[in-house]
Structure 1
């Protein structure tokens, strides 16, 4: 379909169009614009007509034969053979497959739109799709992919320089850890070092120090027993070196903690007698601390050991610590041990019936702890500790007084010093508890301490 004007040739009309466009739009602004377009992949099959030949394109057509396209500010379809003026916006309508063009918006000539700024930041430019063939576009896309691959490869090389491969790390770890030793193997070596006659005193002490760490675990303590380590440690309690006795008692206490099998073997191996001798004789404070720790581990939850402890005069030995100078730090530990033994039996008696409970009650029934405490006047020993300066010590003494209340009630009532001390503590803890409440803590530590003091005073009134 022809639209040629009868009075003008094709060349004349093109020249006229260029003149009009140059007047309406300055060439400087148009030359700076690179129109927007939508890229799409054009298959070779789409470029051929029914005869199998490629249709004539604008690039192949003679400029004299091209029909001029007159763009407006609305998108219009570009018909085959039409020439689009430079500076027009061209796009491909993906729904219809037709190319469309329009004049550039006046407010976007300088690329001031948000999209234009974004594309500038990203280094993107608009390209006139009519100036590229599908082959040229494919080449451009191929170059983009090659550039991305090169950048990715460069990044991977940079990462390789900073980090070592996992295979190399595995090899280095294997060199550092030539052999992984089990706890059992380590304990065998430590026991061998401690028992060796060629080991120095420092080496033996270091071996005991490391053994204490391992025998805290129940299974390791059983292995320690099976490999003969327990007997060696009990034998070490007789050493002439105070530091060896100290660490041997430390290892023994760690192995005894909550481990009935080790407790039985230890008491049958004579550990109880040796610990009581260490506490009764003159020894450094550090040695007696560890001996008391081992004794406490042996007696807790083991009525058989408690029974033998009383028979061997264990309470008298502990009582003697209160008459020795420099042993004040052990007093709280002793009172705490007695409190635990009293409460242990009381809680068991308050428990529900059961087959195992009956046997435990029978065993604890043989432990005559309360009469021995009353006979040796432990009521006075504990009450005299109340005016201690540290709150932690007072807390433990108050708990022990509460546990002994059923046994020592009359003795406490007759003790004027105890009543006076309790009243002083009540005045002090009232003030401290009030300060706690002012700070928003209505159930704080001093509130609980005040409750313990008030409870004892009510029982003794």
Structure 2
């Protein structure tokens, strides 16, 4: 009887230990046989004996490696989820093994708990480098998927779907207009008989912003807007003339097809009339801008410019009182046209297209009439300007015209003295540049231009 009583007591104690053991197993959310940290694949290859240190939990340092046989679980060892666990009644210790239905697998068992994850090799107590790399790659992929899902969820919460936005826009009667639709509205406003002067000027001002783009400029031509702008050069209001010339110049810039359309619409003649007749300097300034836009890189327009007496118009503008602010612009335009032809003729391109271009520029004889009209004397007068930029353009133009104007330059009494003064000034400025470490500075270039002219005149 006493033996039976003793057996019952031992049985109760064993049952209590077994229950406590199962409770411990079920309450181990951090249990792992191997915890893999964020590390490179090279680091993975250095792992030996199947152990990896993890600084997060000291208890993870003691790892239980299950097999197909029952093994004793030491106190403090972490048991991977999914194992069979029992209490050995003879020894009073916990034991665990791999379930019988998983014995034939690859031996690598993965587990995950919250943000922590790992794996256990159920076939042996060590991992090969390839096994670790494969496990790490799998866990990184799963981590990326989680990050991507988190990002998508954040985007969904932050931004509204496009369909909802479109519905809101429709409810507010908001319409997205293209540049061409805006241009059409501006043309209609400018052409409206009920529009005020201020509204017309505003339409031209806004239109100038859009026609810088090649496609928008072509659209202006196709809708008849370019012809309206050209006709506005004859308007009685100076502001309309000024802004119309501004729009025209911007439309023509770097746009050969529009240049042709403008020539056929008679824009060249109207611009020369504005420059030759009594108009405010602001109007002439914008007209000169439009004239330069239609002449540059367009030899046919340059030919017509000479036939219509354009060079004489520029000469009168150059000599008129109150137009000093336009003199440099006039000289720059002439310099550009002479240089264009020079560069084309010096180009060694043998293509048929280049030959045709050379033929067209051969018919533009700008330099001879410039000499006849006294431009050899007019250009050097601008050397008295205090602006270095103006002097630079004058020196370049004088060098370009040197072969034809050498005698006229030598006949100018004050020219040599002016060049010597400029040389002294630019020697000092160039030396200061060099002291500051600029060995090829702006003023050194001006000094070289001055010395070149002095040498050629000597």
Q: Match for residue 362 of structure 2?
A: 365
How big is the shift at 1:202? Answer: 1.1
Could you say what the CA RMSD is over the residues aligned between the two structures, in angstroms?
3.4
Q: Match for residue 229 of structure 1?
A: 225
Q: Match for residue 425 of structure 1?
A: 422
- Counting only pairs closer than 5 Å after superposition, residues 376-395 of structure 1 correspond to structure 2 as 376-395=373-392
How big is the shift at 1:169? Answer: 4.9
Paired with 2:289 and 2:321, the residues of 1 have a C-alpha distance of 19
Q: Match for residue 23 of structure 1?
A: none
434, 437, 450: which is aligned to 1:437? 434
- Counting only pairs closer than 5 Å after superposition, residues 109-258 of structure 1 correspond to structure 2 as 163=158, 165-166=160-161, 169=165, 171-172=167-168, 178-258=174-254
Please tell me whether residue 446 in structure 1 is matched to residue 443 in structure 2. Answer: yes
Q: Match for residue 32 of structure 2?
A: none
Paired with 2:332 and 2:408, the residues of 1 have a C-alpha distance of 20
Comparing 342-351 with 222-231, greater Cα deviation is found at: 222-231
Paired with 1:90 and 1:428, the residues of 2 have a C-alpha distance of 82
SS of residue matched to 2:271: helix
Q: Match for residue 396 of structure 1?
A: 393
- Counting only pairs closer than 5 Å after superposition, residues 335-350 of structure 1 correspond to structure 2 as 335-350=331-346
Task: Summarize the Cα distance change of 1:133–1:292 in structure 2 as closer, same or farther, 3 Å threshold.
Answer: farther
* Structure 2 contact 376–409 (Cα < 8 Å) conserved: yes
Paired with 2:357 and 2:155, the residues of 1 have a C-alpha distance of 67
SS of residue matched to 1:364: helix
How big is the shift at 1:419? Answer: 1.5
Task: Summarize the Cα distance change of 1:371–1:173 in structure 2 as closer, same or farther, 3 Å threshold.
Answer: same
How big is the shift at 1:181? Answer: 2.1
Q: Match for residue 59 of structure 1?
A: 17
How big is the shift at 1:98? Answer: 3.8
Please tell me whether residue 94 in structure 1 is matched to residue 64 in structure 2. Answer: yes
How big is the shift at 1:417? Answer: 1.5
Task: Summarize the Cα distance change of 1:91–1:237 in structure 2 as closer, same or farther, 3 Å threshold.
Answer: closer
Task: Summarize the Cα distance change of 1:454–1:189 in structure 2 as closer, same or farther, 3 Å threshold.
Answer: same
> How many aligned residue pairs are there?
337
How big is the shift at 1:258? Answer: 2.0
Paired with 1:209 and 1:267, the residues of 2 have a C-alpha distance of 23
- Structure 1: 5+ residue runs without aligned partners? 1-52, 62-88, 103-129, 135-143, 146-154
Paired with 1:370 and 1:60, the residues of 2 have a C-alpha distance of 112
Comparing 410-419 with 340-349, greater Cα deviation is found at: 410-419
Task: Deviation per CA, 1:353-404: give whole Å up to 9, x if none.
Answer: 3212222222222222111100001011101111210111111111111111
How big is the shift at 1:293? Answer: 0.4
* Structure 1 contact 187–211 (Cα < 8 Å) conserved: yes
How big is the shift at 1:163? Answer: 4.3
Paired with 2:410 and 2:12, the residues of 1 have a C-alpha distance of 120
Task: Summarize the Cα distance change of 1:319–1:93 in structure 2 as closer, same or farther, 3 Å threshold.
Answer: closer
Paired with 1:90 and 1:431, the residues of 2 have a C-alpha distance of 79
Task: Deviation per CA, 1:191-249: give whole Å up to 9, x if none.
Answer: 11111101111111111112112222222222211211111111100111010000111
Task: Summarize the Cα distance change of 1:90–1:357 in structure 2 as closer, same or farther, 3 Å threshold.
Answer: closer
The structure 1 segments of at least 4 consecutive aligned residues displaced by more than 3 Å after TM superposition are 53-58, 89-93, 95-102, 159-177
Task: Summarize the Cα distance change of 1:92–1:377 in structure 2 as closer, same or farther, 3 Å threshold.
Answer: closer
How big is the shift at 1:254? Answer: 1.2
310, 320, 324: which is aligned to 1:314? 310
How big is the shift at 1:412? Answer: 1.4
* Structure 1 contact 91–100 (Cα < 8 Å) conserved: no
* Structure 1 contact 93–99 (Cα < 8 Å) conserved: no
How big is the shift at 1:54? Answer: 12
Provide TM-score, normalisation by structure 2.
0.67
Task: Summarize the Cα distance change of 1:91–1:407 in structure 2 as closer, same or farther, 3 Å threshold.
Answer: closer
* Structure 1 contact 413–460 (Cα < 8 Å) conserved: yes
* Structure 1 contact 278–291 (Cα < 8 Å) conserved: yes
Provide TM-score, normalisation by structure 1.
0.66
